[in-house]
């Protein structure tokens, strides 16, 4: 059974609790463990940039302290962008564990790990974006499923041999309709 890079990324992120997430300046780099016990770890994540969506264009503005991390990215046509649903971040929404996918009551009640609802324990979003250009720390992309100002947590290149569709992949009936 082959496992895609996307599954590894999402599996790893599912183990992180970001309850201590704060919006910080572009001078802060990396992540830090805020608290660690035998049963739980809490991390503080620092964004690497912000999504900007002015007048129909979509850009990923990367903070200056991360510009060196963009070297070589222009060789890729697509990137995965991991971002934080910061405008949807409330304790109540983090505790919602089941929803009707796509807000459609006709769809069965489903766990948030089995759909792409914006309410979840850790409000991490993932979008596959086509790279249109990269210049001076600004990545112009075709589109992203994130709001203007959303903090970018990470960017990973799309690699077809690793990230392509899994053989024998299946989806539930509600998604086929």
34 within some domain? no
The CB density around residue 113, as the number of other CB atoms within 10 Å, is 12
Q: What does pTM read for this prediction?
A: 0.76
Collapse the DSSP code of 20 into the 3-class scheme (helix H, G, I; strand E, B; otherwise coil) and give the result: coil
76 within some domain? yes
**CATH number for the domain harbouring residue 136:** 2.40.30.70
73 within some domain? yes
Is the predicted pLDDT of residue 61 greater than 90, yes or no? yes
97 within some domain? yes
81 within some domain? yes
14 within some domain? no
**Tokens encoding 163:** 């990230």
User: What's the number of domains the chain is made of?
Assistant: 1
10 within some domain? no
> Which residue range is the domain that position 66 belongs to?
48-159
Collapse the DSSP code of 58 into the 3-class scheme (helix H, G, I; strand E, B; otherwise coil) and give the result: strand
Residues 105-148 pLDDT 10s: 999 999 999 998 888 898 899 999 999 999 999 999 999 999 99
């Amino acid at each position: 059974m082959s496992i895609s890079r996307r599954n590894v990324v999402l599996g790893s992120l599912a183990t992180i609790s970001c309850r201590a997430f704060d919006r910080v300046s572009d001078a802060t780099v990396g992540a830090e463990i805020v608290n660690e016990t035998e049963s739980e770890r809490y991390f503080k994540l620092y964004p690497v940039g912000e999504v900007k969506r002015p007048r129909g264009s979509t850009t990923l503005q990367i903070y200056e302290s991360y510009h060196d991390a963009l070297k070589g990215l222009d060789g890729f046509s697509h990137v995965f962008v991991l971002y934080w649903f910061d405008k949807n971040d409330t304790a109540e929404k983090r505790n919602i564990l089941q929803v009707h996918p796509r807000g459609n009551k006709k769809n069965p009640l489903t766990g948030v790990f089995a759909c792409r609802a914006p309410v979840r324990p850790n409000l991490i979003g993932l979008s596959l974006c086509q790279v249109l250009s990269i210049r001076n720390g600004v990545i112009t992309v075709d589109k992203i499923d994130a709001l203007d100002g959303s903090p970018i947590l990470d960017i990973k290149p799309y690699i077809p041999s690793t990230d392509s569709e899994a053989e024998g992949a299946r989806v539930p009936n509600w998604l086929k309709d």
